[in-house]
Amino acid sequence: MTQPPYPPHTPPPGPGQQRPHQHGGPQQNPYANQPFPPLGTPHNNPGGGYGAAQPQPEPPKKKSVVGIIATVLAVLGTIIACIPGIYAAGWILLLAALITGAVSLFLSNQSTAWGAVALIITVVGSLIASVVFFFFMAAKFIGSLPDTTQTPEISSSVVGTTVRPWDEEETLDSTGSPTPTATEYYDSVPDENGNQVIEEGTPGSRSNPLPLNTTLEGPEWHVDVSNLNFDGTDEVMAADPSYKQPDDGKKYLVFDLTLTYVGNETDAGSEMAFLYFGPGEESNGQPLMWDVNGFIDVDTPFQPQEKRTGRVAVSVPENGAEDGTFGIVVPGTEIPFHLALK
């Protein structure tokens, strides 16, 4: 009997029946108990595919507090570094701004904008402060140079002082005077009332009066004071018996006043201010008494190159009068010079 070409058909087992095992053992389902990848994740592609989670955006960077502080320091440093007298503090603030601004650029998760602004302001501010400092120092240096262009002939706010080489016993007469040895000129400054005065501490000021043996020279007038008599009440009364007696606690100081007119105008008037300042007095000086008979005549006009000498009186304290000063404004000028009385 011949073998059929195909094995006989075996019907599938019915319910509750088992398929007969072939080759001596049960066959296993090749797909049973196999792990399956999770839904949405293709096989062998764990990083992507349909349904994969989208990447999260980076969180925004925070404002840099250090950068803001650096910017504030840079602005303040620029302003203060341009103010004379405290510019050193401004440079310190600029240095602090430079350091803090550089540090702020390297802080993690913080904006670098403020730090960059601080560095820019620091650099620009340093340049501006350097220019201001240079011009300030240049102006200060130029202002300290002596002004050699001023002369008494072109400025009424400058008065010359000529020191005479006389001793305490030497006196002046109406025909001659000692030869001057040196001449100095001083600039004036305005006081609190706007009047021109010699700066305090300068020779000729109230706190540093010139010696008594000093000739004050203006553009057209010279003034000399000499031969002081601190007990001159009797001298005044002898020259003019009808003159009033000094007030209580006062006496008369009498001295020689020499006025020399060196201008070219005829019939020139000698308009001048001449006051006595007692010890400690800064203002409201005592004016001279021009009306004593027999004393100097200042009402008669002066002629060119005329010199006139005469006695003058002024009321002074009975005690300590020698510690005061004369405040003199030479005719044709505006600045009062002070002369010591001893």
- Does residue 215 fall inside a structural domain? yes
- Residue 233: its H or E element: helix 233-239
| Long-range Cβ contacts of 86-92 (<8 Å, 24+ apart) | 87/129, 87/132, 87/133, 90/129, 91/129
Which domain, by its residues, includes 134? 65-143
| Long-range Cβ contacts of 170-175 (<8 Å, 24+ apart) | 171/226, 171/227, 171/256, 172/224, 172/226, 172/227, 172/256, 172/258, 172/309, 173/309, 174/258, 174/307, 174/308, 174/309, 175/307
pLDDT in tens, the chain (342 residues): 455 555 555 555 555 555 555 555 555 555 555 555 555 555 555 554 545 556 666 667 788 889 899 999 999 999 998 998 888 898 999 999 999 999 989 988 888 889 899 999 999 999 999 999 888 888 877 866 555 454 433 333 334 444 443 333 343 343 344 433 333 445 566 766 777 777 888 888 888 898 988 888 888 899 999 999 999 999 999 999 999 999 999 999 999 999 999 989 998 888 888 889 988 877 778 888 888 888 988 889 999 999 999 999 999 999 999 999 998 888 877 778 888 988
**Are residue 83 and residue 165 in the same domain, yes or no?**
no
**Are residue 254 and residue 111 in the same domain, yes or no?**
no
Query: Which of 114, 143, 172 represents a domain boundary (last residue)?
Result: 143
**Are residue 104 and residue 219 in the same domain, yes or no?**
no
Query: Which of 143, 169, 193 represents a domain boundary (last residue)?
Result: 143
**Are residue 84 and residue 196 in the same domain, yes or no?**
no
**Are residue 137 and residue 278 in the same domain, yes or no?**
no
**Are residue 282 and residue 135 in the same domain, yes or no?**
no
- Does residue 70 fall inside a structural domain? yes
Whole-number Å distance between alpha carbons of 125 and 123: 5
**Are residue 272 and residue 137 in the same domain, yes or no?**
no
- Does residue 112 fall inside a structural domain? yes
- How many folded domains does the chain comprise? 2
Query: Which of 143, 170, 196 represents a domain boundary (last residue)?
Result: 143
- Does residue 188 fall inside a structural domain? yes
- Does residue 5 fall inside a structural domain? no
**Are residue 99 and residue 200 in the same domain, yes or no?**
no
- Does residue 185 fall inside a structural domain? yes
* CATH number, domain containing residue 270: 2.60.40.1240
**Are residue 205 and residue 296 in the same domain, yes or no?**
yes
**Are residue 136 and residue 173 in the same domain, yes or no?**
no
